[in-house]
Chains A and B, each alone.
Chain A
Amino acid sequence: MQSSVLQRLMKRFDPGCATVSRMISETLDHPLSPKQRWQLRVHTLFCLFCRRYKRQLLALRKLASTQASEVHCDTADLPGLSDIARERIRETLTSKTEN
């Protein structure tokens, strides 16, 4: 009896995974309202999938910024300009001297 009352209360308070997934994304962009923060905290306490979702969005953010810094520091394992592209750009740059 007690647990079903608790469950009903939880259901009323809990916005559900679809809304919580949006809240998780929004924590990366702006502070949530105090009510949203509580909803998120309580929900993720009980929901394994949303806990994973949160960690994965953080990993995605880290992955994107790691990509950016590796490229910037010239340690990325990415091809550079192809010889053909380099030659084409060189010709375009040189042709400007004739204008």
Chain B
Amino acid sequence: MGPVQVLEHGSQTPLLTIMVLVPLVGAAVVALMPRRRPEPAKLVALLFAVATTALTVAVLVAFEAGEAGFQLTDRHEWIEAFGISWHVGVDGISLFLVVLTGLLFPIAMVGADPHHDSKAYFAWMLLLEAGCLGAFIALDLFLFFVSFEIVLVPMYFLIGQWGHGERTYAALKFFLYTMLGSAFMLVSLVATAVLYSRGANADLTFDLVEIANGAPGAIGLEAGRWLFAGFAIAFAVKVPLFPLHTWLPDAHTNAPTGGSIILAGVMLKLGTYGLVRYGLYLFPEAASYFAPLMVTLGVIGVIYGAVVATMQKDLKRLVAYSSVAHLGFIALGTFALTSQGVTGGVLQMINHGLSTGALFLLVGLIAERRHTRQIAELRGLQKQAPIMAALFTVVMMSSIGLPGLNGFVGEFLILLGSFGTRRWWAVVAAAGVIFAAVYLLWAYQRVFHGEPDDEKPFGEIRWTEGLVLAPLVGLIVFLGVYPKPVLDRIEPSVEAVIDHVEARGGFQAPEVPRLGPAPGAHDEGEEAAPAEPGH
């Protein structure tokens, strides 16, 4: 399979551009609504969010399965002097992240009400949605950076104004951590464009496809590694990879429920998605060079996240740390550099969005009823709210990776894909699956089992709340039983990226999981590989 191409066919209407503009316009409309009457704000915001969901579904329908390249592309000059354009498109890797974003935003908006000033809350939410969608569909480095960075502002306000506890501190920490990472990325990104145009003797351009597929070796070997490192720091903060994860528990715990759902469900994926798109695809050689390090950090994250989650007293903080573990898994799959591993990683991004989104929603419902998230203060909820307990069980099992639910498919693919190239890492990471069962089941026991506190009533889940959860639970089951339609769309694009890494990076992914030499021996093979493929 050739390099990832921009496919010209597809619908003539700029579906993706409209998809970003709708929430953006929605944010402006909601912001300009009269302040005195906040009730219609939620309705209008929801209308725009649902319209965006419809558009993401339209993208899913218009997407042609079995094609590897970017589809539904749309391109307009933006800042010509810098070769910056509004260039958007989706491939199998970004497609489901777009759909996930479209799905989670309305859920986050109706799932939890802000406690005051709802107009501003919903305006920020819509701006956040536009930014997230923009980052997933950007095919221009500048456009990606702008989208990646602009999401900080709405999230900063969501945490700071509508959060709990130490929200000022959490919001600041979140903003500054991510911005520091982005500073490295911005310098790398500009250097990538400058070095490419110099090496390839071309005009300055920030077009991702042009740079990634253009003259091989235009960016030198050494330079490419530095540039990759710059990008990787930004993404490692966002993912977050150990040891850059410390902002996450604070931000997730103190954010309002809606913010936590988006933060975990969508925004963390900006990091893992970035690692695939701007790591593997843009710097194939450097990606295979740094793969051992990235895989190690991922595995440390799996174990560390699980261990720390086990010790948490706060239910929401526990879910937050479980994200560190899950995202470490995704990093492992991504840098296994095999088709199964990366496919599993992409699928797991979706799975994590569904299950963690649902978990945060459920924790939010519990906290709303009891005004506490402390595990020690909750018990016996199963007797008082059996349906909620059942839903919690399904979601939790998905997070643990029980066969038949979506989490299993993703984790299995990741382990399968990484076992060939990074056997011992895969073995250690597999232990993380067991840890996940430990901390989640233990938390479930303490919260839901036992005798209920009779003095404190606990309301059963309302049908409106159930309706909000239903799509998530439905997809969790559906993807666990029949993931084929999703995998069919992800795989061609992932294979194209792996081919790209092999062709450009001098890395050979094993055809089948092999019983070959230990990973240490593999590293030598990499160094002996042709340095600059273009020469």
Q: Do A and B bind each other?
A: no
Chain A residues within CB distance 8 Å of chain B: none
Binding site for A on B (CB under 8 A): none
